[in-house]
Amino acid sequence: MSTETPTGLEVKDSMYAFVASKPRLTYTENGDPRLYFKAGQRHRHYDPDNGWTNSPTTFHDVVAYKGAAKFGIENLREKDRFMAQGTVAPYVNKRTGEAEEQFEASRFLIARATPNTTTGRAPARNLGHDAQAQDATGRAAAGPKRAEPAQPARRGLPQFDNSGPRQQQASGHSMGL
């Protein structure tokens, strides 16, 4: 559930968990991407007499649609830790007919101990788009060349000229930078 504070700050539910099942991408009747996986949450409880004790891990259904689904299928693997923002929503399980709840994620953040690492992770999925064929040795097979990705626009950073001494401009005010 999304709530708004008196100052206009929008606050949603969130969860921190690990991906417990292989994420699956399907499509809704409207053709929108839908991601589904089971998430596990480890629970700990603090007892002043005994310290921290582990409670049983619980498992929960997580779904995401559209952009969040695309991000999730491209970036989440089994055992990855993640944070998600979204809402808890009731639904009826089609197999059992019982009322259950699922977390409908609108955003994901992968929680990695060291950023930009792929050590010990499953290889990225080949989703068929922008994929280049490979031969048996793993090298790119001959075929049409792909266009190089566009370079991101560079921000206008100041360029410094170290070619020699410069005259200081007289200024009435200093910015203190």
Instruction: Report the chain's terminal Cα–Cα distance, integer Å.
Output: 44
Residue 20's closest CA among 34, 37, 42, 45? 37
14-69 tens-digit pLDDT: 999 999 999 999 999 999 999 999 999 999 999 899 899 999 999 999 999 999 99
Stronger pLDDT, 115 or 173, i.e. the higher one: 115
The reported pLDDT for the residue numbered 11 is: 84
Residue 80's closest CA among 26, 33, 22, 35? 22
User: How far, in Å, CA of 70 to CA of 62, rounded?
Assistant: 14
**Residue 174: pLDDT band by 50, 70, 90 thresholds?**
very low
Query: Domain residue spans in the chain?
Result: 10-110
Query: Do 90 and 1 meet the contact criterion of CB atoms below 8 Å apart?
Result: no
Report which residue type is found at 74. E
Residue 87 has pLDDT above 60, yes or no: yes
Cα–Cα distances in angstroms (integers) from residue 77 to residues 39, 80, 86, 128, 132, in the given order:
11, 6, 20, 18, 22
User: How far, in Å, CA of 167 to CA of 87, rounded?
Assistant: 60
Query: Do 85 and 17 meet the contact criterion of CB atoms below 8 Å apart?
Result: no
Averaged over 80-85, what is the pLDDT? 96
131-168 tens-digit pLDDT: 444 544 555 555 555 555 555 555 555 555 555 555 55
Q: Which CATH superfamily is domain 10-110 in?
A: Nucleic acid-binding proteins (2.40.50.140)
- Tell whether pTM > 0.85: no
**Residue 172: pLDDT band by 50, 70, 90 thresholds?**
very low
